[in-house]
């Protein structure tokens, strides 16, 4: 893959991830979706279903919104992309673990799996090239 193609792939993934995080944590925070763990109707219900304390929802949310901001900022300042994508990899591994913990069907974990794949792709492309 050429360096220019790699740059475009990374940029597109950054945008998809950033707006995906903003969508989930700001626009759909209190709305039901078919992807919420254990069929929860809101983010607070989902974290309760996982057995996590309420404060953890705010910590995870703040981290994910900071990551979204850094992914967008990284479009102009590329040094921000690897740390943001790397932390998102860890958070998505945690999200997938929570879906497994509550025995969710695969479809509920799919967004976390896709975000993990996109984050890993960014880290690998930036580190390899």
Domain ranges within the chain, ordered by starting residue: 3-128
Query: How far is 43 from 123, CA to CA, in rounded Å?
Result: 28
Please give the backbone phi and psi of residue 2, each rounded to the nearest 5 degrees, phi first: -70, 160
User: pLDDT truncated to tens, each residue of the chain (129 aa)?
Assistant: 788 889 999 999 999 999 999 999 999 999 999 999 999 999 999 999 999 999 999 999 999 999 999 999 999 999 999 999 999 999 999 999 999 999 999 999 999 999 999 999 999 999 876
Six token digits for residue 47: 């974290």
User: What does the pLDDT read at residue 129?
Assistant: 65
Query: How far is 112 from 27, CA to CA, in rounded Å?
Result: 17
């Amino acid at each position: 893959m050429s360096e220019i193609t790699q740059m475009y792939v990374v940029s597109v993934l950054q945008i998809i991830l950033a707006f995906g995080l903003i969508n989930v944590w700001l626009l759909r925070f209190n709305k039901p979706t078919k992807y919420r763990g254990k069929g929860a109707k809101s983010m607070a219900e989902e974290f309760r279903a996982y057995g996590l304390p309420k404060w953890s929802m705010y910590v995870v949310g703040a981290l994910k919104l900071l990551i979204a901001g850094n992914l967008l900022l990284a479009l102009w300042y590329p040094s921000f992309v690897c740390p943001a994508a790397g932390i998102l990899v860890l958070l998505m591994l945690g999200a997938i673990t929570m879906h497994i913990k509550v025995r969710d069907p695969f479809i509920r974990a799919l967004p976390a799996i896709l975000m993990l794949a996109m984050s890993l792709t960014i880290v690998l492309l930036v580190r390899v090239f």
